[in-house]
C-alpha cells in the first residue's frame, strides 16, 4: 500500500494519522463537554500508570501483534485478509479443545494446544486462499463470510461439543495453560501471561521468513507483480495459498493466546471480539513490517486498555477510543492525500 | 402444527426479517455498481439504527403516530451524510475502499455507543416509545386464507419490495442508471463520453448511505426497538452477501435478502418445525455466508462483479 511513497513519507504518514486521530478524539471530548487533557491523562494512567495496568496492557498487546502480523503478511503478498477475526476465533476454540481433551505433561501438551490454534487458523484461511488461487474469487468477500461461519460454528462447538450446553467451556488444565504466576505477582495480579514472548518471537519469524528466505522473496514478489513472478517461474497459485495459510496461522496463534492465556477457556461470542478487525489497523499503521506492527500493536494495546479506565477516572465513555481508532484507519487509508499535502508543505518550505 | 399456519409463520418471519436487509442491499447495489466497494454497509446500518432510535425517543411525544416514519427519514439523512466520509476517502483521497469501509464500521459503532452513553448514561437506550406495528391492508386483508398471511405485515416490508423494483427501474431503464453502471465498468470510457465519474460515484455512495440508514432504522424500529452496541451484529454483512449472491442486481439482491432473512428467522424458530429440528442451528445461521461463498466460487451460477470495482479512478491515468 505504501509502495509509491518515500521512506520519509512512510514514517510520517502513520505518525500524522495517529496525531490526527487523537486530535479528533480531543475535539469529540470537547464538544461533548469533557476535558480532553483529563481524558487522555486518564487513558495513559489507566494503561501505564500502575503495575497492574501495565500487565493488562501487555496482555492486550499480545493478540494485537498476532492479528497485525496476520493481516500484514497477507498484505505483503498482495492479499487482503479481513478474516483474521474468524481465524482467531477458530484458533481460540481449537486450542482450548486440545487443552481440555488431553492429559499430557506440560512440555508436550502446551505446544500441542498452541499448534492446534495455529493449524485451525491456517485451515480457516486455506479456504479463501484456495478459492483465490484456483477460481480467482476475491478473498475479501470470502474471508468476511468465513468470519461469520466461524462465529456460529465456534459458538455451536463451545455449547454442544466441548461443553455440555454451557455458555463457557471448562478451564484448560495447568498443563496447557500460558498463565504466568511470575508475571501475575510482578504486576499486582494482572492477567499478563507468557504469550507476549510468543508474540515477539512470531514477529521475528515474520521478519526472517519474509525478508530473508527464498519463500519470502517469492511471496513478496507475487505481491508486487503476479505476472512478472509467473514469468520468472514462480508458482503464483501456490504462493497465494501459502500466504493465506501462514497469515491464518498467525491469527490462529492470536486466538490461542486468548484461549490458553488471557481467559483460559472458550465462551459463546455474541459478536466479534474486534481484535481481528483492529489487526487491519495495526498492520496498516505498522506499514506491514515486523517492528512497525509491534509498535502499532503497543499503541493499540495502550489505547484499548486505557479506554477501560477512562470512564472511571474522567467520565469519558470507553468508545472514545473506537472513534480515535476509526479516524486513524481513515487517515492511514487516505495516505495519498497526506503524502500529497506533505509534498506541498515541503515545496512551500523551499 | 398444520401446514397453513406453518406457512403463515414462514412468510411473516421472512418479510419481517428481510426488509432491513433488502433496503441495505439495494444501497449496496448502487454503490458497488458505480465501482465503490462498500464494506461499510454494516456501519451505515448502525448509524441509521442509532439515528432512528434517538429520534424516536426524543420526538415521540411531539409527533405521536408519525414518529417512526419521520425517524426513518432522519435515519436516511444521517446515513447519507455518514456515507460521504466513505465517499471522500475512497473517491477523492484514493483510499483502499475496503479499509475505508472498515473505518466506517468502527466509527459508526464507536460514535453511536459513545453518544448513547453520553446522552442516556448507559450503554443501551430505553425502549422506543412508538415502534412500527403490523398493519392490515384494507380490502386485501379480507381475502380469505392469503389475506391474513400476506397483508398483515409491516408496511416497511412492502416498501422494501417496491424500492427494490424501483431501484431495478432506475439502474436498468434510465439514462442515470446506465451512467452509474458505466462508471463502475469502465470509468475512463464513461469519462470520455462526458460523464462526471467522481460525481456519479459520490451520488452512488450517498444513495447507499440513505438506504443503509433506512435499513438500520427499520431494523431498530421493528426488531430490537432500542439501540446498543449489540443492535446491529452482522446484518450489514448479510446485506453485502445478498448484493453478491444477487449478482449485483436489485431484484436478485432482494431475492437473496429474502432468502437470507428466512434462513436467519429459521435459525430462531426452526426448532418448531419437525423437518428442521435436527439441523444444527449454526448451519442455518451460517447459510447466507456459505451460499455466498459457493455462489462466488461459481457453484451456483457465476457471480461477476462490476469490472472496475474497488479501483479508485485517477483522471488521466491508463
This prediction has a pTM of 0.90
Mean pLDDT score, B265-278 = 71
For the stretch A21-64, pLDDT in tens is 999 999 999 998 899 999 999 999 989 988 889 999 999 999 99
Between strands B152-153 and B135-136, the pairing is antiparallel
- In a mutational test of the B interface, the residue from A135, A300, A319, A342 whose CB has the highest number of chain B CBs within 10 Å is A319
Taking contacts as CB-CB distances below 8 angstroms, the residues of chain A near B240 are 141, 144
Look at residue B316 and tell me if it is in a domain.
no
In total, how many domains does chain B have?
1
Taking contacts as CB-CB distances below 8 angstroms, the residues of chain B near A322 are 106-107, 109-111, 113-114
- Which residues, other chains included, contact A259 with Cβ-Cβ below 8 Å and sequence gap of 6+? A91, A92, A93, A95, A96, A99, A117, A172, A265, A266
pLDDT score of A2 more than 60: no
Which of B249, B256, B259, B257 shows the shortest CA–CA distance to B168? B249
Taking contacts as CB-CB distances below 8 angstroms, the residues of chain B near A5 are none
A residues 31..60 contacting B (CB < 8 A): 32
For the stretch B129-161, pLDDT in tens is 888 888 777 777 777 777 777 777 888 999 999
Give the per-residue pLDDT at B270. Answer: 67
Interface contact B305, partner A, CB < 8 A: yes
Q: Cα(A169)–Cα(A173) distance, rounded to whole angstroms?
A: 12
Mean pLDDT score, A314-338 = 89
pLDDT score of A323 more than 60: yes
Interface touch A270/B230, C-beta < 8 Å: yes
- In a mutational test of the A interface, the residue from B36, B47, B93, B267 whose CB has the highest number of chain A CBs within 10 Å is B93
Query: What structural domains does chain A harbor?
Result: 35-315 (1.10.3470)
Give the per-residue pLDDT at B146. Answer: 77
Instruction: Report yes or no: A253 and A178 within 8 Å, Cβ to Cβ.
Output: no
Among A140-149, B132-141, B164-173, B183-192, the range scoring the smallest mean pLDDT is: B132-141
Q: Cα(B71)–Cα(B207) distance, rounded to whole angstroms?
A: 18
Give the nearest chain A residue to B113 (CA atoms). Answer: A319
Look at residue B317 and tell me if it is in a domain.
no
Helix (H) or strand (E) holding B152: strand B152-153
pLDDT score of A324 more than 70: yes
Q: Cα(B207)–Cα(B167) distance, rounded to whole angstroms?
A: 11
Give the per-residue pLDDT at A131. Answer: 93
Give the per-residue pLDDT at A1. Answer: 44
Query: pLDDT > 90: what percent of chain A?
Result: 54
**Residues A105, A110, A112, A113: is their CA dihedral positive or negative?**
positive
pLDDT score of A297 more than 90: yes
Closest Cα in chain B, distance from residue A146 (Å)? 7
Among A81-85, A225-229, A337-341, B75-79, the range scoring the smallest mean pLDDT is: A337-341
For the stretch B223-236, pLDDT in tens is 889 999 889 988 99
Rg, Å, chain A Cα set: 21
Look at residue B307 and tell me if it is in a domain.
no
pLDDT band at B1 (very low <50, low <70, confident <90, very high): low
Interface contact B195, partner A, CB < 8 A: no
* CA distance readout (Å), B184 to A54, A138, B169: 49, 17, 18
Give B71-92 as a DSSP string: HHHHHHHHHHHHHHHHHIIIII
Interface contact B109, partner A, CB < 8 A: yes
Mean pLDDT score, B168-177 = 95
Give the residue numbers spanning the domain of B20: 3-136+143-296
For the stretch A147-199, pLDDT in tens is 999 999 999 999 988 888 888 898 889 888 888 888 888 887 888 888 999 99
Interface contact B294, partner A, CB < 8 A: no
For the stretch B2-51, pLDDT in tens is 777 777 888 888 888 899 999 999 999 999 999 999 999 999 999 999 99
Among A2-16, A216-230, A271-285, B5-19, the range scoring the smallest mean pLDDT is: A2-16
Interface contact B287, partner A, CB < 8 A: no
- In a mutational test of the B interface, the residue from A322, A331, A332 whose CB has the highest number of chain B CBs within 10 Å is A322
Taking contacts as CB-CB distances below 8 angstroms, the residues of chain B near A161 are none
Taking contacts as CB-CB distances below 8 angstroms, the residues of chain B near A336 are 93-95
Question: For the domain that residue B176 is a member of, what is the CATH number?
Answer: 1.10.3470
Mean pLDDT score, A120-126 = 97
Look at residue B120 and tell me if it is in a domain.
yes
Interface contact B159, partner A, CB < 8 A: no
Interface contact A137, partner B, CB < 8 A: yes
Closest Cα in chain A, distance from residue B29 (Å)? 15
Q: Cα(B318)–Cα(B312) distance, rounded to whole angstroms?
A: 12
pLDDT score of A350 more than 60: no
Interface touch A319/B244, C-beta < 8 Å: no
Interface touch A140/B106, C-beta < 8 Å: no
pLDDT band at A248 (very low <50, low <70, confident <90, very high): very high
Query: pLDDT > 70: what percent of chain B?
Result: 95
pLDDT score of A348 more than 80: no
Q: Cα(A183)–Cα(B245) distance, rounded to whole angstroms?
A: 50
Interface touch B94/A325, C-beta < 8 Å: no
Name, of A87-91, A221-225, A315-319, the range with top average pLDDT. A87-91
A residues 274..293 contacting B (CB < 8 A): 277, 280-281, 284
Interface touch A336/B280, C-beta < 8 Å: no
Mean pLDDT score, B213-230 = 93
Amino acid at each position: 500500500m505504501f509502495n509509491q511513497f518515500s521512506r520519509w513519507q512512510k514514517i510520517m504518514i502513520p505518525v500524522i494519522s495517529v496525531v490526527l486521530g487523537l486530535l479528533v478524539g480531543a475535539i469529540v471530548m470537547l464538544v461533548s463537554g469533557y476535558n480532553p487533557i483529563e481524558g487522555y491523562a486518564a487513558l495513559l494512567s489507566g494503561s501505564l500508570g500502575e503495575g497492574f495496568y501495565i500487565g493488562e496492557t501487555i496482555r492486550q498487546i499480545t493478540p494485537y501483534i498476532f492479528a497485525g502480523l496476520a493481516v500484514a503478511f497477507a498484505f505483503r503478498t498482495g492479499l487482503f485478509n479481513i478474516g483474521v477475526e474468524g481465524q482467531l476465533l477458530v484458533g481460540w476454540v481449537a486450542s482450548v479443545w486440545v487443552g481440555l481433551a488431553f492429559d499430557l505433561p506440560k512440555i508436550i501438551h502446551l505446544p500441542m494446544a498452541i499448534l492446534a490454534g495455529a493449524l485451525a487458523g491456517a485451515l480457516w484461511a486455506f479456504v479463501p486462499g484456495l478459492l483465490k488461487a484456483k477460481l480467482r474469487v476475491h478473498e475479501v468477500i470470502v474471508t468476511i463470510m468465513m468470519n461469520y461461519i466461524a462465529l456460529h460454528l465456534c459458538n455451536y462447538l463451545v455449547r454442544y461439543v466441548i461443553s455440555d450446553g454451557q455458555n463457557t467451556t471448562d478451564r484448560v488444565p495447568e498443563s496447557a495453560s500460558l498463565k504466568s504466576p511470575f508475571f501475575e505477582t510482578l504486576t499486582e495480579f494482572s492477567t499478563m501471561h507468557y504469550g507476549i514472548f510468543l508474540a515477539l518471537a512470531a514477529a521475528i519469524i515474520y521478519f526472517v521468513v519474509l525478508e530473508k528466505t527464498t519463500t519470502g522473496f517469492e511471496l513478496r514478489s507475487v505481491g508486487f507483480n503476479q505476472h512478472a513472478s509467473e514469468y520468472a517461474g514462480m508458482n503464483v497459485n501456490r504462493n497465494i495459498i501459502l500466504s493465506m495459510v501462514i497469515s491464518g496461522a498467525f491469527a490462529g496463534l492470536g486466538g490461542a493466546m486468548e484461549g490458553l492465556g488471557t481467559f483460559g477457556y472458550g465462551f459463546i461470542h455474541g459478536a466479534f471480539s474486534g481484535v481481528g478487525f483492529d489487526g487491519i489497523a495495526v498492520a496498516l499503521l505498522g506499514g506491514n513490517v515486523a517492528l512497525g506492527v509491534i509498535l502499532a500493536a503497543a499503541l493499540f494495546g495502550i489505547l484499548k486498555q486505557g479506554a477501560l479506565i477512562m470512564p472511571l477516572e474522567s467520565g469519558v465513555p470507553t468508545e472514545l477510543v473506537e472513534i480515535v481508532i476509526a479516524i486513524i484507519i481513515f487517515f492511514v487509508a487516505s495516505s495519498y492525500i497526506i503524502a500529497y499535502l506533505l509534498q506541498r508543505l515541503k515545496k512551500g518550505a523551499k | 402444527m398444520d401446514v397453513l399456519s406453518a406457512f403463515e409463520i414462514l412468510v411473516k418471519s421472512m418479510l419481517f426479517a428481510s426488509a432491513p436487509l433488502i433496503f441495505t442491499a439495494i444501497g449496496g447495489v448502487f454503490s458497488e455498481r458505480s465501482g465503490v466497494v462498500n464494506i461499510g454497509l454494516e456501519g451505515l446500518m448502525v448509524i441509521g439504527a442509532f439515528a432512528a432510535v434517538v429520534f424516536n425517543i426524543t420526538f415521540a411525544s411531539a409527533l405521536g403516530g408519525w414518529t417512526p416514519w419521520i425517524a426513518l427519514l432522519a435515519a436516511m439523512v444521517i446515513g447519507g451524510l455518514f456515507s460521504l466520509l466513505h465517499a471522500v476517502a475512497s473517491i477523492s483521497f484514493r483510499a483502499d475502499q475496503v479499509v475505508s469501509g472498515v473505518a466506517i464500521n468502527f466509527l459508526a459503532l464507536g460514535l453511536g455507543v459513545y453518544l448513547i452513553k453520553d446522552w442516556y448514561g448507559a450503554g443501551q437506550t430505553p425502549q422506543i416509545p412508538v415502534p412500527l406495528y403490523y398493519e392490515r391492508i384494507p380490502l386485501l386483508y379480507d381475502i380469505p386464507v392469503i389475506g391474513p398471511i400476506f397483508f398483515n405485515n409491516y408496511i416497511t416490508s412492502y416498501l422494501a419490495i417496491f424500492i427494490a423494483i424501483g431501484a431495478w427501474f432506475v439502474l436498468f431503464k434510465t439514462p442515470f442508471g446506465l451512467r452509474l453502471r458505466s462508471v463502475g465498468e469502465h470509468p475512463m470510457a464513461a469519462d470520455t463520453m462526458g460523464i462526471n465519474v467522481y460525481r456519479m460515484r459520490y451520488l452512488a455512495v450517498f444513495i447507499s448511505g440513505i438506504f443503509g440508514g433506512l435499513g438500520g432504522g427499520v431494523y431498530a424500529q421493528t426488531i430490537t426497538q432500542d439501540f446498543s452496541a449489540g443492535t446491529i451484529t452482522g446484518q450489514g454483512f448479510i446485506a453485502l452477501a445478498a448484493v453478491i449472491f444477487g449478482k449485483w442486481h436489485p431484484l436478485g439482491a432482494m431475492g437473496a435478502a429474502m432468502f437470507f432473512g428466512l434462513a436467519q428467522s429459521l435459525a430462531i424458530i426452526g426448532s418448531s418445525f419437525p423437518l428442521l429440528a435436527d439441523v444444527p442451528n449454526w448451519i442455518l445461521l451460517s447459510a447466507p455466508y456459505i451460499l455466498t461463498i459457493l455462489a462466488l466460487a461459481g457453484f451456483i451460477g457465476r457471480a461477476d462483479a462490476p469490472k472496475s470495482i474497488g479501483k479508485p479512478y485517477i483522471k488521466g491515468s491508463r
